[in-house]
């Protein structure tokens, strides 16, 4: 199963797949009618289709032989269900599904979510090799701004981050922060 955060990504993923396996692929989205969804559900249940590319709706298919789950762009906020019940995060549901079926879960992203970074750093998640986690640790750091404020820094960025920013030669730096009250803030 390959999970994508948005409908537009499905076509991109399917276009990357080799021609010889396209007849085994089924795409699942929430835009399907009940009749279309049931037809695709039956294809997966009967084993006629064994490669699923879809949005978080694909988690609820009848899985018998699930061996791999690939979650692309795992930090994307579209994986969270905000407005409907039951509320869930696709990453957490995929993790539960992978443990239940003994499947391998691969989280792919340009920028990891804060939670995934924390779990990788503390070895809750395992990587294919230690090199992957080490590369994460060199480029990502979680900074607690409460302690910065206690020290007299009331700016949006920590002292350490400002010092690192001053060291860059090109000035090309990408910032994001998470605030408990305001959500993601892009700078």
Are 57 and 30 a contacting pair, CB within 8 Å? yes
Assign residue 141 a region (left: φ > 0; alpha: ψ between -120 and 50; beta: otherwise): beta
In sequence order, what are the beta bridge partners of 53? 2, 27
C-alpha separations of 152 from 90, 145, 155 in Å: 39, 11, 9
What is the tens place of the pLDDT at every residue in 111-121?
667 777 777 77
Which residue's entry shows tokens 């998470």? 178
What is the tens place of the pLDDT at every residue in 88-110?
888 888 888 888 888 888 887 77
Model-level pTM? 0.66
Architecture of the domain spanning 2-110 = 3-Layer(aba) Sandwich (3.40)
pLDDT at 139 over 60: no
Q: What ranges do the domains of the chain cover?
A: 2-110, 143-186
Distance of CA 100 to the CA centre of its chain: 19
> Could you tell me where the DSSP H helices lie in 18-129?
34-46, 90-101, 114-121
Pairing of strands 183-186, 176-179: antiparallel
In sequence order, what are the beta bridge partners of 51? 25
Residue 55, token pair as written in the block? 């949005």
Mean pLDDT of the chain: 78
Provide the angle, in degrees to the nearest 10, between the axes of the packed helices 114-121 and 130-139.
130
């Amino acid at each position: 199963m390959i999970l994508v955060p948005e409908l537009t990504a499905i076509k991109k993923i399917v276009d990357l797949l080799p021609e010889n396996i396209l007849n085994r692929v089924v795409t699942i989205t929430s835009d399907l009618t009940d009749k279309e969804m049931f037809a695709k559900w039956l294809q997966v249940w009967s084993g006629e289709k064994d490669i699923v590319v879809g949005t978080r709706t694909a988690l609820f298919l009848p899985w018998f032989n699930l061996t791999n789950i690939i979650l692309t762009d795992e930090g994307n906020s579209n994986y969270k269900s905000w407005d409907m019940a039951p509320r869930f995060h696709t990453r957490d549901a995929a993790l539960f599904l992978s443990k239940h079926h003994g499947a391998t879960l691969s989280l792919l992203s340009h920028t990891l979510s804060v939670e995934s970074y924390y779990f990788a750093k503390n070895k809750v998640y395992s990587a294919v090799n230690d090199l992957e986690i080490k590369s994460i640790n060199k480029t990502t750091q979680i900074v607690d701004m409460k302690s910065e404020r206690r020290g007299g820094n009331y700016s949006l960025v920590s002292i350490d981050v400002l010092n690192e920013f001053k060291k860059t030669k090109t000035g090309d730096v990408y910032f994001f922060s998470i605030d408990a009250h305001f959500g993601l803030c892009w700078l």
